[in-house]
Structure 1
Amino acid sequence: MTGSLLDIRGVTVDYVTDRGRHTAVRDVSLTVGPGRVTALVGESGSGKSTLGQAVLGLLPSAARVASGSIRLGDLELLGLSERRLRTLRGARIGLVPQDPTGSLNPVRTVGASIAETFRVHGDRDHAKIRRRVLELLERVGIDDPATRARQFPHELSGGMKQRVLIASAIALEPDLIVADEPTSALDVTVQKTVLDLIDNLRRESGTGVLLITHDLAVAADRADDVVVLRGGTVQETGRAADVLAHPTADYTRTLLADAPSLSSVVERRVPDATTARPLIEVEGLRREYARRGAEPFVAVDDVSFTVAAGTTHALVGESGSGKTTTGRAIAGFQRPTAGTVRVDGIDVTALSGRGLRDYRRTVQLVYQNPLASLDPRQRVGRAIEEPLRNFGLGDASARQQRVRHQLEQVALDPALASRYPAELSGGQRQRVAIARALVLDPRVVVLDEAVSALDVTVQAQILRLLARLQEELGLTYLFISHDLAVVRQIADTVSVLRRGRQVETGPVECVFSDPRSDDTRRLLAAIPGTAYNDETAHGAETEATR
């Protein structure tokens, strides 16, 4: 047996479609050692997940490994029958996928989903399986395992569902875990908890981890070795500390510059948030939801802040902290139970009917997932034009001109107006969503996790676009995010929310450099890449004193 647990040599993967042959992965080599983490890093479409699927023998029918070798210890995986591969999955190779909601059967309890791993591999002792399921749930840090095992996926949070998937992946104590973007959909504190869990399991069991991620900051914190992919080819490889401290490839340097945790604050020329007049004024905001047979659920409780015209105010916090509820109240989509919201002097909470409809020209929303917020049957140009039609603005020719202008404003080719959303990349779709939000010339844009689903390079492009549009158009942003690294780049002021209550508010630099709340300190500590930045700063200080 070689010293490597996983040894990939010269692997090329082709997709054969009606449009011809496309090479997704070209001549890629990497190793994963026992008890070590190798991070496979790159933007969307770089071939990361394709390589992970090749290791697991789960490539789609249109794909094939054209050349190369994939060995698990002394066993060559390429060429094995599907029956043989099924005996290896779970037993020797575990998978932690990206989307916990889509990966768990919605009509089966989480306990039954984990138990299936044992049954697939021939275990029929129901009492033993039940004990192991409860032990696994406890091992991955899920409270009250007996109760949780009887629950369905929709009854668990995103972080708990991801822990369930990790429990399934380690059930049979595999030699290797393939973790494919395991935390990209989670807020930073849950992300840290999940990554800590994988780290602990690696140390305890000597399991090797192939960590697939678009985020170099995560790789900086967690990986021993890094392989950087672009367009299916390796750009750079080596020890994580060496690659991150002294990148040799231009693309790696771009990824480092674009990773919000590892880059400097974006310079913005906007009005001073402390002296410009308030455009948004929120005072004592409270939002309750009725519950049958129980006390109302309080989603937002006594939240107050102001936002100066032409600046960006961020709402940050974990999932369930009340960020989106607050944003929707400001946009006029939810009436608060108590408190007031004023935008440009208008009492939003008092509006109804025509007044509320007209107000929505003032405030527009951009959501996290543009593919879900854009009608898949509607061409891009039609989607951008729709708000103009709804408000009866302009004739057909004027509206077409406006659509063209909006596409150019967000740096898209006007020819894309004839495409459907599914024909665009994630970054292009988000630019379309921004163009649609701006077509009515709003004063305020509420950005609800608008960059969290994008890889770091596209995310950086959208952040730069938002900064440019704010400067050119004088826009005021309410930026909702769980990612404090991104907030540090784009926001002037910030409110930190926890379980519906505001625990801290003020200028970003003051809150970040001198946090007064334990909750804020915990969020800041969870930012990936923090340890890397600390070591880099220490190294720079050491060099300066020599």
Structure 2
Amino acid sequence: MTGPHDPRPAPAPLLAVRDLSVTYRTRRGPVEAVRGIDLTLTRGGVTALVGESGSGKSSAAQAVIGLLADNGTVTGGSITLTGDDGTAQELVGLREREWRALRGTRIGLIPQDPTSSLDPVRTVGDAVAEPLRIHGWRDRDAIRARVVELLGLVGLDDPATRAGQYPHELSGGMRQRVLIAAALALEPELLIADEPTSALDVTVQATVLDLIDELREATGAGVLLITHDLAVAAERADTLVVMRDGRVEESGPTAEVLVAPTAAYTRTLLSDAPSLRRVVDRRPHLPVEAQEPLVSVRSLRQEFGGRSGAAPFVAIEDLSFDIPRGTTHALVGESGSGKTTTGRAIAGFRTPTAGAIRVADTEVTALRGGRALREFRSTVQLVHQNPFGSLDPRQTVSAILEEPLRNTGRGDRAERRSAAMHHLDLVALPAEVATRRPRELSGGQRQRVAIARALILQPDVVVLDEAVSALDVTVQAQILRLLARLQDELGLTYVFISHDLAVVRQVADTVSVLRRGVQVEQGEVAQVLGDRHHEYTRQLLAAIPGAGDIRLTDTPHPADTQELTSP
């Protein structure tokens, strides 16, 4: 911070948003998504807009770049962009032709999802070249040279070859780098990064955020970072703007807001962020030594492919661990580590190439379909990462919950209805949710429905495949507390699949760390994550955003001592 005798110049202004309001026209009437917010971004600085889904942060960012949906309108306020010469340009009210001149040249956008943002039938080189062509580049050789330069700048190996590849040939982290290259093609003064790493593993996330930082420092661009992850904001932003229900709850220098938040909502976000809060256990982790295992995995091996003389791909190799009844065992690692393949094998959805899986008295690998496998599915249930994709959009919530009972011939219509209502109550959802369809529910409510559906057959084991990774931090915390309560009340055993060691440290009793199908470490959480024997485990821990940056009090989160309510 500069003072009256500080020789350093104050950072130059770049973006100023004043009293901005955004309204959407809907069939139910106008919805005000942004309600009179202010924010400022300096040249070369990072301002983070933080909040849950529906807080208005993405609508604010879309207004800044003129990309609101057709039914969205800026209904008040001002957005000014100041150039190198000190001239401020008002962006509210620009015509589309004027916006096209600005986008790419002065304002660049890094979108959230590289899978949906890149055309699958066009090469990544075409995607990076598109803003160049839009803004008048005609020389093919010059365009190709600039594309290769940009792909190299964002750290892709052999950029000339990568330019000719299609999105499906690249990893998620590589695709996100392509989007960054496209956003930087014309060296804009302002970069809007809209949840740029929310779909990435923690180590890839750290790499992409490092890249954005390096490019910002090299070019002097300002970055408006949109995120629901307060830990990412804590680590990367100079200024923090916390949004809720379209309004600014709190704003200021990041360190000041995080160390001494004045808004209760900010304190809740801090308490719910697993990598920022000091973990307050809901219950002591169970001593697992000498307990009889409910789940036993021995020498598991899973191969894929290998036809026509090609060598098979080994997804899992020689994996072994035990899970005592009533405990949580975490499978952690990056994409491609074998976590989901292992979970599906435990649930009986995939027969491994070799090895043994025993759940209670059932040898799972010996099941070959038919009645025995159907009955086993009542013992182990699976909860997927994306509840919207796993819930039938045509059915009501009641029908979704009753379906497993119908499929297994349990109860009459009245009994199935009663069971559905009981399980809605069990996951803290109100009775009126029963008549709704998935699209009418929030993400957290949909995940509660998915959990209720998994529990309605009264399983002993629940496999949770990245079941909280797509949720906002406060909703994630609510679901984790719900899972802990259900485990205590029902004696459930969990297989918790995650790439997030901050969450694993909070919820699991034991853990297997997987890398490319190989178990590099296994044991009790405190031992594995405390001693960090393996370099890969240390890398995963070091990549947790914000870990160790903030020291909060030991005061338990309010919901740890109060009745749970639905989000």
Q: Distance in 2 between matches of 1:358 and 1:340?
A: 19
- Render the CA deviation track for 1:52-99: whole Å, top value 9, x for unaligned: 100010111211111110011111111111011011111111111111
Counterpart position of 1:542 = none
- CA deviations on 1:182-230 (whole Å, 9 max, x unpaired) are 1011110000000000000111111100000011100110000000000
For 1:512-527, list aligned pairs within 5 A. Answer: 512-527=529-544
Pick from 28, 31, 50: which aligns with 1:22?
31
- Contact persistence 1:188–1:527 (CA under 8 A): yes
Provide the residue aligned with 1:333 in structure 2. 349
- 2:295 is matched with 280
Instruction: Tell me the amino acid that sits aligned with residue 163 of structure 1.
Output: R
Find the residue that maps to 2:168 and give its secondary structure: helix
Alpha-carbon shift at residue 273 of structure 1 (Å): 2.2
Change (3 A) 1:536 1:211: farther
User: Which residue identity lines up with residue 365 of structure 2 in the other structure?
Assistant: T
Q: Which residue number corresponds to residue 354 of structure 1?
A: 371
Match of 1:488 in 2: 505
Q: Which residue is equivalent to 1:241?
A: 255
Structure 2 residue aligned with 1:412, among 413, 416, 429? 429
Which residue number corresponds to residue 34 of structure 1? 43
Partner of 2:85: none
Q: Check conservation: 2:258, 2:550, Cα contact below 8 A.
A: no
Indicate the residue corresponding to 1:100 in structure 2.
114
* Among candidates 371, 375, 387, match of residue 404 of structure 2: 387
- Return the offset for 1:3: 3.1
Report if aligned partners of 2:259, 2:550 keep a CA contact under 8 Å in 1: no
The aligned runs of 1:416-435 (5 Å cut-off) are 416-435=433-452
Match of 1:51 in 2: 60
Q: Report the equivalent of 1:504.
A: 521
Contact residue 341 and residue 349 of structure 1 kept, 8 A = yes
Q: How does 1:282-321 map to 2 (within 5 A)?
A: 282-293=297-308, 294-321=310-337
Indicate the larger mover: 411-420 or 466-475: 411-420
Q: What TM-score does the superposition give when structure 1 sets the normalisation length?
A: 0.96
Question: Larger deviation: 135-144 or 43-52?
Answer: 135-144
Which residue number in structure 2 is paired with residue 445 of structure 1?
Answer: 462
C-alpha root-mean-square deviation of aligned residues, in Å? 1.5
Paired amino acid for 2:58: S
Are 1:259 and 1:456, in contact at CA under 8 Å, matched by a contact in 2? yes
**1:2 shift after superposition:** 9.7
Counterpart-to-counterpart distance in 1, 2:76 and 2:11 = 21
Residue 271 (structure 1) shift: 4.0
Show CA shifts across 1:228-281 (max 9, x none): 000001110000000001100000000000001011323325642224321111
The question of whether the paired residues in 2 share the 8 Å contact of 1:271 and 1:309 is answered with: no
Structure 1 position 457 matched with structure 2 position 471: no
What is the count of residue pairs matched by the alignment? 537
> What is the aligned partner in structure 2 of residue 473 from structure 1?
490
Partner residue in 2 for 1:543: none
Kindly state the Cα deviation for residue 292 of structure 1 after the two structures are TM-superposed: 4.3
Task: Report if the CA contact (8 A) 1:310-1:470 is conserved.
Answer: yes
Q: Residues 245-256 of structure 1 correspond to what in structure 2 (within 5 A)?
A: 245-256=259-270
Q: Aligned with 1:295: secondary structure? A: coil
**% identity of equivalent residues:** 65
List runs of 5+ in structure 1 lacking aligned partners: 538-546
C-alpha displacement of 1:400: 0.2
Matched-pair contact (CA < 8 Å) for 2:328–2:493: yes
- Answer yes or no: is 1:344 the counterpart of 2:360: yes
1:535: how far off? 11
Q: Any unmatched runs of 5+ in structure 2?
A: 1-9, 83-87, 555-567
Report whether the alignment pairs 1:187 with 2:204.
no
The 1:2/1:184 distance shift into structure 2, 3 A limit, reads: closer
Aligned residue type for 1:64: T
TM-score normalized by the length of structure 2: 0.93
Whole-angstrom CA distance in 1 between matches of 2:490 and 2:162: 50
CA distance in 2, matches of 1:443, 1:274: 20
Distance across 1 between alignment mates of 2:282 and 2:509? 11
SS at match of 1:465: helix
Distance 2:488 2:174 in 1: 41
- Please report how far the alpha carbon of residue 291 of structure 1 lies from its aligned counterpart in structure 2 after TM superposition: 3.9
Q: Distance in 1 between matches of 2:11 and 2:311?
A: 61
Please tell me the residue identity of whatever aligns with 1:343.
V
Is contact 1:137–1:167 with CA below 8 Å preserved after alignment? yes
1:318-350, Cα deviation, whole Å (9 max, x unpaired): 011000000001001111111111111311101
